Structure 1
Amino acid sequence: MKKTIISVISAIMLGAMVVGCGNGSANSSDANKGAASEAAAYEAVTVKHQLGEVTITEKPESVVVFDLGVLDILDTLEVEVAGVVKSSLPDYLSAYNDDKYGDIGGLKEPDLEGIYELEPDLIIISGRQADFYEDLSEIAPTINVALDNANYIESIKSNISTLADIFEVEDKASEVVAEIDTKVAEASEAIKSEAEGKKALVILANDGNISAYGPGSRFALVDALGFEAVDATLDNSTHGQAIGYEYISEKNPDYLFVIDRSAAIGTEGASSAKQSLENDLVKSTNAYKEGNIIYLDATYWYLAGGGVNSLQSMIEEVHSAVK
């Protein structure tokens, strides 16, 4: 009889253990299914860029960013980053000087070892780092977000959309793009109304040296918003076309937009663009006589172009020229 009772008790205990193990396996299985489902929920994003093609299959958690315009975009979209170029941060992005962000070197000299130590799962570059694309790609998937200057505004909006897809913040990005569209429409309408038939010239001043930029250049926003270029044949290279003050006088722009490179990079002892331009040749132009020489914020135009805040501020500066 005792054996029978013991056998029954043993059977019950064994059954309980089996059930308990079964529940544990079910819970473990459910957890695994949940994790798998969460991973499967991420929709892979394929980015085709000037230097190659990258497919991102998981949401990046550790991101290294060289391009200041993209850092601006990610900041606006509230996407965290792991590493930035601290030596070139403009004031409005100075929060990234914090120790919690890694320093990844210079805009033209990446710190490959430092980047490797951050264990990034995505690296974002632009034109200044193109020569290091292969080296960076060996560390982590790398995308080049260099702008298409011939389609300046649309190119920035495309970058915003791509980054939104990668980091799953599409709703926020849609709001941002809508704000940009509104500012573009307002500025374009004002320029069409107030400056129709007027011609503009964009120049980069660098301690007495001057380069001019036309449609399709890195400073093509002026043309994209509706200003007619004073010279459509200008070289559209990154460094523009070297000119003298005689050229400005000869072309006689109605609006002269000036970017001071020395101010942007903090060159000590350099003469300001305004000091260089206030000479008799420039004073002979319609732009000077009508008070239409506009000194643009070089931080936005030279260093951080291609961002959300930078683009909105740049649009406002061009818009203000005709207010």
Structure 2
Amino acid sequence: MRIARPRAGLVAVATAAALILAACGSDEGSEETAAGGGSSGDADATGAEEGSEQSGTVEVTDVQGTVEVPMPAERVMVTDNRVVRAMDEWGVEIVAAPLDIFPGDLSYAQDDSVVNLGNHGEPDLEAVVAADPDLVLTGYRFQDYYGDIQDLVPDAAVVDTTTDEAQPLDEELIRQLELVGQALGHEEDAQAMVEEFQGAIDEAARAYDPEQTVMGLLTSGGDISYVAPVTGRSIGPVFEVLGLTPALEQEGGDSGHGDDISVEAIAEADPDWLVVMDRDAAIAAEGDEYSSAEELIEESEALQNVTAVQEGQIVYLPADFYLTEDMQAYTELFTSMADAMGSAR
């Protein structure tokens, strides 16, 4: 069966996100919104140690070192798109964020009290000072501004939430979310998300037949690009997590935007399954016309004899994946893969 990608959230994505991201290439929760941190590397970022109740602080460790943060934090700023949806779902209030590169359906996007930092290409760093945060969760697209933010708000606890791409995707997403949950006083909420995530991985792994080959593709600007197993953008790490058998043993050179590949090369590899990210779906403004991944792949004359196309064995990432890339997005992807592959067996 063919899994149709959810399109929810596409209309809500701001035009600004289209211009910016194209170029770079939630009410249950504790009232205690505390501070915390996460980072890349081998550090045990999930091992937060609570400070004394008298001090009202908690210590968390990232690769930058040990960070002492207030508990609860009163003014939280976040720049990492991969943790902001969890914070929104947990009911964490924030004072500032780069809303231009966040999903448009966040409650923060409709909150006039949240200072918009713009985008990572040309962020409004003066607004960081005006927002006066006591906790900053920053990373990923804002990783290069870690030092600048420290200098701008020296009294704030600044934590790098960037994941380590050299480590397994599932382990890093779990480490990251557990860390943020501990720092914000939402350990139970984080654990619930982790359990759902791990359950989706287990279901997808059980449904997948390793005798069948898989290829990852990315579409943008009317072109189809190849996503290399393990190292390729978004889809690459899924090969390692689920133990997928690549249809094409070809290393990738561009981990962000995919590598050039002809439809003839895809046809020759003849993958049993295709896993596809439509990059433009997340950043196209309402009313924009563009060639969708479905059109480019399913209507390609050269791909009509490919097993994945013939059998409808194509799994599309959520439409807003390029703006989210978080644990929830991967949970949705793994669930779709489990449903599709389970039905096909």
Same fold (TM over 0.5): yes
Q: TM-score range by the shorter chain?
A: 0.7 to 0.9
> Which residue, out of 45, 69, 81, partners 2:82?
69
Aligned to 1:283: 304
**How has the CA–CA distance of structure 1 residues 183 and 137 changed in structure 2, closer, same or farther, with 3 Å as cutoff?**
same
Aligned to 1:199: 213
More helix by share: 1
Q: Is 1:270 equivalent to 2:290 in the alignment?
A: yes
Counterpart AA for 1:295? Y
DSSP 3-state at the match of 1:43: strand
> Which residue, out of 249, 255, 259, partners 1:237?
255
Counterpart AA for 1:241? D
> Which residue, out of 320, 331, 335, partners 1:312?
331
Say what the alpha-carbon RMSD is for the aligned residues.
Answer: 2.3
Q: Deviations over 1:147-170 (max 9, x none)?
A: 334411111110111112212222
Q: Deviations over 1:61-86 (max 9, x none)?
A: 21211222210122234332222222
Aligned to 2:323: 303
Alignment TM-score, normalising by the size of structure 1: 0.78
Contact map agreement 1:203 1:256 (CA 8 A) in 2: yes
DSSP 3-state at the match of 1:100: coil
Contact map agreement 1:86 1:97 (CA 8 A) in 2: no
CA distance in 2, matches of 1:183, 1:289: 26
Contact map agreement 1:64 1:120 (CA 8 A) in 2: yes
Q: Structure 2 unaligned segments of length 5 or more: list them.
A: 1-50
Structure 1 position 92, deviation (Å): 4.2
Structure 1 position 200, deviation (Å): 0.9
Q: Is 1:151 equivalent to 2:168 in the alignment?
A: yes
1:64-103 alignment to 2 at 5 Å? 64-103=77-116
Counterpart AA for 1:252? D
Q: Where does structure 1 differ by over 4 angstroms across 4 or more consecutive aligned residues?
A: none
Counterpart AA for 2:339? S
> Which residue, out of 45, 51, 56, partners 2:60?
45
1:94-173 alignment to 2 at 5 Å? 94-140=107-153, 141-149=157-165, 150-173=167-190
Aligned to 1:292: 313
CA distance in 2, matches of 1:54, 1:265: 37
Contact map agreement 2:136 2:158 (CA 8 A) in 1: yes
> Which residue, out of 170, 175, 190, partners 2:192?
175
**How has the CA–CA distance of structure 1 residues 262 and 296 changed in structure 2, closer, same or farther, with 3 Å as cutoff?**
same
**How has the CA–CA distance of structure 1 residues 303 and 211 changed in structure 2, closer, same or farther, with 3 Å as cutoff?**
same
Q: Deviations over 1:214-257 (max 9, x none)?
A: 22433235322342222343226222222221221122111112
> Which structure is higher in RCO with an 8 Å CA cutoff and minimum separation 6?
2
What count of residue pairs does the alignment treat as equivalent? 280
Identity %: 27
Aligned to 1:8: none
Aligned to 1:22: none
**How has the CA–CA distance of structure 1 residues 207 and 254 changed in structure 2, closer, same or farther, with 3 Å as cutoff?**
same
Structure 1 position 55, deviation (Å): 1.1
Q: Is 1:321 equivalent to 2:340 in the alignment?
A: yes
DSSP 3-state at the match of 1:44: strand
DSSP 3-state at the match of 1:40: coil
CA distance in 1, matches of 2:330, 2:151: 32
CA distance in 1, matches of 2:90, 2:107: 17
